[in-house]
Amino acid sequence: MTHLDNRLALDSHENQRLQAALKEISGQVEVCLDQWLPTMQGLPGDRVLECMRYSTFAGGKRLRPALVVAAAKLAGYTGAGAGWVGSAMEMIHTYSLIQDDLPSLDNDDLRRGRPTAHKQFDEPTAILASDGLQTGAFELLADARCHDDAAVRLEIIKLFAQSSGARGMVAGQMVDMQWEWEQPANLGVDDLARMNYLKTGMNITACCEAGVVLGNADTKLRLAMVTFGDALGRAYQVFDDVLDVTGTAEELGKTPGKDAKAGKTTFVSLLGLEGAHERALQEAERALKVLESFGEEADLLRLIARYCVSRGK
């Protein structure tokens, strides 16, 4: 790697602050998820509940809930609802990971440093567990614990459904699979950016937007969070391609180098390692620029944006 590595790197103090904040939010989310997810009762069907919990409590960075909480703070909302909304998105994210790892999709054996759901259990159980997590997430979003105003809850339900559905994450996954099957030779950076926006970026943006919706923010702040989330999502995904080349299984919690082995088009294959890394930094800087007019209330968002292009080091 090059000197570009250090441009947005967190110093030790900043990293400690970020890790402390993420640990606190992760703890809140773990409590919410433990209270919300059904528990085994010694009845037929418990296996799917065990798989849901196995996958959900496998660790992970909990960045999506952190974005909800950080954006809510920016909007002046400090209620418990941000943790519950973030937990719903964590359930959606976990369902997507279970499906992404299935033999019929990416066929991966490792996720978050542990065997994937279909390896630990079996493929039918993994599929049904992902179904349970997805539907359970929207049941949670409809609950008053997320916000006492039903109109706010409905707005967030709409945001998460759109970003996760057939015009968002599902569409992005479909495009990704089609490219793997068809191996098109003329894919460019814009094509890849669009697919990644659908597959990953829309949900990251939805988390940022949901946080300010909780605080009944004005249109200006909401649009600012959409712009921030868009840039952050793009930075995150480009840097994922960099880490797929430079990271280890221990650092990533998943199998590195799979994209190259599968012959997938990535930002690294299109731009080279240094070019892809630079693009990730530029997108992170675009996200940070959105926050220039805010004070310390935006510090957690700033730290997350920088972390997203320096993780795994």
Q: What is the pLDDT of residues 157-199, one digit of tens each?
A: 999 999 999 999 999 999 999 998 888 888 999 999 999 999 9
Report yes or no on 192 lying in a domain.
yes
Report yes or no on 9 lying in a domain.
yes
The boundaries of the domain holding residue 203 are: 3-307
Cα torsion 121, 203, 237, 309 to 10°: value is -110
Report yes or no on 128 lying in a domain.
yes
Separation between Cα atoms, residue 157 and residue 96, nearest integer Å: 17
Report yes or no on 28 lying in a domain.
yes
Report yes or no on 312 lying in a domain.
no
Enter the DSSP assignment of 106: T
Quick one: tokens of 184?
A: 């098109």
Neighbours of 87 (CB within 10 A): 30
Report yes or no on 144 lying in a domain.
yes
pTM across the whole model: 0.92
Backbone angles phi, psi at 263, to 5 degrees: 75, 25
With tokens 């009944």, the residue in question is 216
Query: What's the CATH code of the domain at 237?
Result: 1.10.600.10
For the chain (313 residues), the mean pLDDT of every run of 10, in chain order, is 65 94 95 95 92 92 95 94 98 96 89 90 96 97 97 98 96 92 89 94 97 93 96 94 77 60 84 94 96 95 95 65
Total domains, the chain: 1
Q: Which residue blocks in 57-201 are alpha helix, DSSP H?
A: 63-74, 81-100, 117-120, 123-141, 150-164, 169-182, 189-196
* H/E segment holding residue 114: strand 114-115
Return the pLDDT at 1.
40
Q: Which residue blocks in the chain are alpha helix, DSSP H?
A: 12-36, 46-56, 63-74, 81-100, 117-120, 123-141, 150-164, 169-182, 189-196, 202-214, 219-246, 249-252, 258-261, 267-290, 299-307
Separation between Cα atoms, residue 282 and residue 300, nearest integer Å: 19
Report yes or no on 313 lying in a domain.
no
Report yes or no on 207 lying in a domain.
yes
What's the pLDDT tens digit per position in 99-109? 999 998 888 89
β-bridge mates for residue 111, sequence order: 114
* CB-facing half-sphere around the CA of 39: CA atoms within 13 A: 5
